[in-house]
Chains A and B, each alone.
Chain A
């Protein structure tokens, strides 16, 4: 069994409309976020990964399984979709139980797994209420429970935090992290970039159906040569330090932070700058912290795609 989710030159067209084009990807275990604005191809990529749509070209394998083999694929994959419709007349428990029964498992096992999943998403009290009467957040949680119920190796979650309150969001994020820590492949789509920053081990940046970049966010950032690295330095005498910075050949732009307690510096060679900083920061200037200021998803996305497409 392969240990990656792979897309080989995959394209998907809906008639003449482009879904995704020429996507080649390898997704390792851990939390991978698909990032992009609405219509960038995140959901299409997830639907392709789970066989809900077929590629117009190319091949997809999920840990070695073909996506047109649902009988085996969905033993290892759980997908929480954005589709907000459920089979009619079912309670939350019945929804999960029926879903699990479709796998052919016996009644007792399905009942046990259903309750486990319900507990994991904190829906115990509402389990016997009709899903149609659930709030948006509850429906989101029961979908997550459906994806988690059979303890899959691959979790595909389309905008999983939509509609959840802050407490539920942090609970879910903890749940995703725990799954990733156990070696699961957690693929999350989101257009809320600060959220992605917090949870992702790696990102896939999408724009207009194309993969713009993929990998760990810092690696992606380092590959963007045309935008100098920004570093935030917190210190007690920022103006004095700024003056010294200008003498360094590695600094190409320095500005004082608006709170006057630090400065923002741009450099094309961060590693050499860090080495040089020790010499520059002598003479009693106390440096409190040094941190990259633009290796988050938002900045990388701005650099690669442009301001107008970024959803904050």
Chain B
């Protein structure tokens, strides 16, 4: 690339970046990007409230309990054994059940429910007729569980919907928007190669989407870790691949903007109505897990899914169709996935460069 082209590309980016980032018709893209952040903020508030409740229960208990104490309770244990182990329950409910018996009078069963907490984890014990009937030990701070939740939101909302539609809104309008605003001639009357103009506009769009969605991704990570203690955050980030995962998610976000961006750039040049290609692409991406291996390669989500750091486990009993949708049945290595996206983008940009040279300024037919 010679220095003139680079100077021209910088001029296009300078003009386009602000316009793309602050376009009034692109406000909904910010909403899409902000939704997962809001979800994690709400989640952090909910977990915070629950922790507060747990701390109050722990405070009211007879003993200072640990997680090991709570997990020592087993079904079938006697009520007295539980009290001996954990102390008198700080919160307890009781009720009586009249259980019908065939051929005889109803039997009365005394039920009790004890709530214990170590301040972080809650233990609910169901006691029937003096014996432990069921146990429910739950923790508000389960990083393993939360990272799966993060992976689910990232794959099924952030990649497939937020970035997909965000790129649609930004990249499809790079040239279509100019045609609709009747201002494309401004660029076409300048001494700049059409393909150089296209590259400048694409990079401006890429920069704008990366700013929006990488900011969202970083905020999501912050919001998702918000309710953890500093020690837990430190442990997760620096000793449990947390930082590495965050960097990989950022990289996947960037590659998603690149892949979907180049696709929607060429779609915006080839189609007047963006709804049709967007719908086809959305369906194609959605049915990707069900496609034969050869066809899967002509999809962006196929490569992105393979790059995601956390595999979403399929719960036992999930229907095979749904399980196929969740799991990545045909993963590929990270280098192949990255090269795949770069190739898809390169093909899309090549088609765009051919198309932009053929474009005419003919607003009356729009």
Contacts and interface: CB of A to CB of B under 8 A. Distances in A.
A303 interface: no
Contacts of B360: 52-54
Most chain B C-beta atoms within 10 Å of own C-beta, residue among A14, A53, A79, A104: A104
A150 B274 CA distance: 37
A148 to B, nearest CB: 13
Contacts of A68: 357
Interface in A113-167: 146, 150
B191 A73 contact: yes
Contacts of A103: 8, 190-192
Interface residues of A, number: 32
**Interface secondary structure of B, over-half rule:** helix
Interface in A70-119: 70-75, 79, 81, 83-89, 98-99, 101-104
B322 interface: no
B266 interface: no
Interface in B1-22: 4-5, 7-8, 11-12, 14-15, 18-19
A87 B186 contact: yes
Contacts of B357: 68
B19 A72 contact: no
Contact of B189 (A50, A54, A86): A50
Interface in A181-224: none
**Could you say which interface size class chain B belongs to?**
20 to 34
B286 to A, nearest CB: 35
B185 interface: yes
Given A83-B363, A104-B8, A72 B191 contact: yes
Contact of B186 (A72, A86, A104): A86
A88 B25 CA distance: 13
A102 B191 contact: yes
Given A79-B189, A102-B8, A103-B191, A89 B362 contact: no
Contacts of A72: 191
A51 interface: yes
A81 B15 contact: no
B188 A102 contact: no
B366 interface: no
Given A14-B365, A83-B183, A85-B183, 6 more contacts: A53-B360, A75-B191, A89-B18, A101-B14, A104-B5, A146-B189
Interface of A: 14-15, 47, 50-54, 68, 70-75, 79, 81, 83-89, 98-99, 101-104, 146, 150
The 7 closest A-B CB pairs, nearest first, are: A102-B190, A74-B191, A85-B182, A101-B11, A104-B7, A52-B361, A104-B4
